[in-house]
Structure 1
Amino acid sequence: MDTSDIEGDLSSILYTEEQIHQKIAEVARLVERDYAGRDPLLVGVLKGAVMVMADFARELRIPATMDWMAVSSYGSGTKSSGVVRILKDLDSDLHGRDVIIVEDIIDSGLTLSWLLGNLRGRGAASVEIFALLRKPEAATVEVDVKYAGFEIPNEFVVGYGLDYDERYRNLRAIGILAPHVYS
């Protein structure tokens, strides 16, 4: 879906598909340098990270395996509840593995902080984070993100995997959702 298909639903476009792909390629080069000779496990956080994970994995020029985890800290609203539930666990054994969590966005940091502790507790050799987006103004917990894409304002964003009520995930760009859509 292109922005022209839903232009009335967006206040503005933050990043185009081209800008997103360029940023993912930059991060992939860093990961290739840092993980040369190793086989990292990419852990995508469902559902939002699907687009990021797919494009990031294809961009990497080193061997990497993938697995998926679904965790939730959101209720029916647009704010994190702080209570994390595992909806789908990993199929992989993490013991001795180098893990890179692939995230679409970091808001409060609560869920990701919990996830870091959980994966480290499973015996991973290392656990790092690649987050395409982060909202510094929304952070309530400091999370060390080794690979960060873009810092964005504390607005409700959709596209490139990010949704509102399961809509807009297939938007090729990332935009700020107009308040009239969710109010």
Structure 2
Amino acid sequence: MLDVVKEVLISEEELKQRVAELGKQISEDYRGEDVVLVCVLKGAVMFFSDLARHITGNVTLDFISCSSYGSSTVSSGVVRILKDLDRPVEGKNVVVVEDIVDTGTTLHYLLKNLKSRNAKSVRLAALLNKPDRRKVDVHVDYQGFVIPDYFVVGYGLDYDEKYRQLPYVGVLKEEVYQ
């Protein structure tokens, strides 16, 4: 464990098991239908890759990047799309794959944006859900774990672009970001 991590909140083994369960659930929900998995960069990339390997059926992958954080630990409330999808989603089943639902600001904007593109359906798969911080209501269709209001890193989650490579989700020591 890195010396910047106070405690491991979700172990590598717990992550593997839950991601496999979510992949199975998505496979069952979309049996016989095509699905576009949309990875919200950069934080969801680990979860997205592992989840995609557990989904059976016809799946295509795309990527989008948006931010309301920058290098801060607090959302600015202003959402910007930094990289848009490569292909249209009109008439398609879309599952947005995100690392964490925090305030809900970014995801509310993103889900509304994708629905406005006339997708057949738009659902959300989030590894972590932090409801104590919610400012905007966002429904999570496929939820990995509900966590308390900790600043977490690992398994794709970062602080100032660091610690994404950790194979677990850990609580970042406060002295690192204060």
Whether TM-score is above 0.5 comes out as yes
Runs of 4+ in 1 over 2 A off after TM superposition: none
Rounded to whole Å, the distance in 1 between the matches of 2:37 and 2:56 is 14
How far is 1:14 from its partner? 0.6
Aligned match of 1:148 in 143, 147, 160?
143
Following superposition, the deviation at residue 76 of structure 1 comes to 3.3
Of 80, 87, 96, which aligns to 1:92?
A: 87
What's the CA shift for 1:13?
A: 0.5
- Correspondence for 2:47 among 48, 52, 59: 52
Deviation, 1:75, is 3.4
Q: How far apart are the structure 1 equivalents of 2:164 and 2:58?
A: 28
SS in structure 2 at match of 1:44: strand
> 1:164 Cα shift?
0.6
Q: What is the aligned-residue identity percentage?
A: 51
CA–CA distance in 1 between the matches of 2:16 and 2:97? 15
Gaps of 5+ in 1: none
- SS of equivalent to 1:90: coil
Indicate the residue corresponding to 2:152 in structure 1: 157
Q: Distance in 2 between matches of 1:81 and 1:75?
A: 8
Paired position in structure 2 for 1:111 = 106
Q: Select 1:127's aligned residue among 122, 125, 129.
A: 122
Displacement of 1:142 in angstroms is: 1.1
Indicate conservation of the 8 Å contact 2:71/2:159, yes or no. no
* 1:64-88 superposed Cα distances (whole Å, 9 cap, x missing partner): 1000000011133211111111100
Aligned to 1:68: 63
- C-alpha distance in 2 between matches for 1:86 and 1:30: 29
Backbone CA RMSD of aligned residues: 0.8
Q: Secondary structure at the match of 2:126?
A: strand
Gapped regions of structure 2 (runs ≥ 5): none
**Alpha-carbon separation, structure 2, partners of 1:122 and 1:63:** 21
**Cα separation, 2, equivalents of 1:161 and 1:62:** 25
Deviation at 1:31, TM superposition (A): 0.6
How far the C-alpha of 1:60 sits from its partner, in A, is 1.2
- In the aligned structure 1, how far is the partner of 2:70 from the partner of 2:44? 19
TM-score normalised by L of structure 1: 0.95
Q: Which residue does 1:79 correspond to in 2?
A: 74
Contact preservation (8 Å) 2:72, 2:160: no
